[in-house]
């Protein structure tokens, strides 16, 4: 059984994010057309999800986060144009197809990381029904838990986890996210002062060795683990990433999480 343990940090096992085969092709300039998608929130009174309109402020926040991600990536000359809920990004400097794939991941990874208590009513069958909309459990929500074959590393049938709807820790509580260059497979996350207080209050409310903490990243379960400490605090570590490059990408995304999900609706190379 996986457990949360704290020495100097909390360790979480991560699922593989972006494994891509590399192949050599000539560099080109690229244009990305992105569509910002609406968020949905659960209305306790109507017991239904409602659409949250995309405001100009949300678009500004999204553009600023994308600019910071590009800057962190070393891309300083991108041209950004906003039209409604669409964003066009042109990379004038020729880049390789592999770099273009990396940018696609950079633009579409919302990097919304939340921690929840696993709902005491959880069982795999009920969680799957809630996830598919076949049942409603008041105050709870179900997420997909991607699984891999430990022998082959290939994806297998997912399971589902029922968690408390309200997140104990969210993206706004993250102060820093940095790769561990010593291991090349870990990202250390530091919480804000408010986030630290929330983490301490949250973990104090759980039963050590019995209650589960569930970590959600971009709408999917990263880990479902038993709390094995009296109290967790300011720093935790996500481990199990495949490479230092993946750790760096993950850290950049977490430092500049997006307020809304993004789809790429057009992606093309431009001949010089």
Domain limits, the chain = 27-110+258-272, 112-234+243-255
Q: Find out if CATH 3.90.930 is the number for domain 112-234+243-255.
A: no
Is residue 224 within 8 Å of 143, Cβ to Cβ? no
Residues 6+ apart with CB under 8 A from 184: 243, 244, 247
Where would I find the beta strands (DSSP E) of the chain? Answer: 3-4, 11-13, 28-36, 39-43, 48-52, 79-83, 86-95, 113-117, 140-148, 155-164, 174-179, 186-191, 212-217, 220-227, 235-239, 262-270
How many residues make up the chain in this entry?
A: 272
pLDDT tens for each residue of 37-77:
988 776 767 767 788 899 999 999 999 999 999 998 888 88
Q: Domain 27-110+258-272 falls in which CATH fold?
A: Alpha-Beta Plaits (3.30.70)
Gyration radius of the chain's alpha carbons: 20
Pairing verdict, β 155-164 and 174-179: unpaired
Report the pLDDT averaged over residues 152-180: 91
DSSP helix/strand/coil, 19:
coil
Cα(97)–Cα(109) distance, rounded to whole angstroms? Answer: 18
Give the percent of the chain with pLDDT over 90. 51
pLDDT tens for each residue of 16-37:
444 445 455 667 889 999 999 9
Among candidate residues 258, 265, 271, 267, the one with its CA nearest the CA of residue 112: 258
């Amino acid at each position: 059984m996986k457990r949360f343990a704290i020495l100097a940090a909390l360790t979480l096992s991560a699922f593989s994010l972006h494994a891509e085969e590399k192949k050599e092709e000539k560099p080109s300039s690229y244009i990305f057309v992105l569509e910002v998608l609406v968020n949905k929130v659960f209305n306790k009174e109507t017991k239904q999800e409602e659409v949250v309109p995309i405001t100009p402020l949300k678009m500004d926040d999204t553009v600023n986060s994308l600019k910071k991600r590009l800057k962190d990536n070393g891309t300083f000359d991108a041209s950004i144009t906003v039209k409604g809920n669409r964003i066009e990004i042109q990379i004038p400097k020729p880049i390789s197809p592999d770099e273009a794939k990396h940018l696609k991941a950079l633009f579409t990874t919302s990097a919304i990381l939340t921690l929840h208590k696993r709902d005491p009513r959880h069982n795999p069958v009920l969680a799957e029904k809630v996830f598919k909309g076949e049942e409603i459990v008041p105050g709870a929500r179900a997420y997909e838990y991607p699984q891999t074959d430990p022998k082959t590393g290939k994806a297998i049938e997912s399971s589902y986890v029922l968690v408390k709807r309200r997140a104990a820790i969210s993206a706004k509580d993250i102060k820093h996210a940095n790769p561990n260059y010593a291991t090349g497979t870990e990202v250390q996350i530091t919480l804000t002062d408010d986030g630290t207080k929330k983490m301490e209050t949250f973990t104090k409310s759980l039963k050590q060795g019995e209650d589960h903490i569930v970590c959600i990243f971009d709408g999917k379960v990263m880990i479902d683990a038993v709390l094995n400490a009296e109290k967790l605090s300011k720093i935790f570590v996500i481990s199990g990433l495949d490479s230092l490059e993946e750790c760096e990408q993950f850290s950049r995304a977490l430092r500049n999480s997006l307020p809304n999900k993004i789809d790429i609706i057009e992606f093309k190379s431009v001949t010089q």
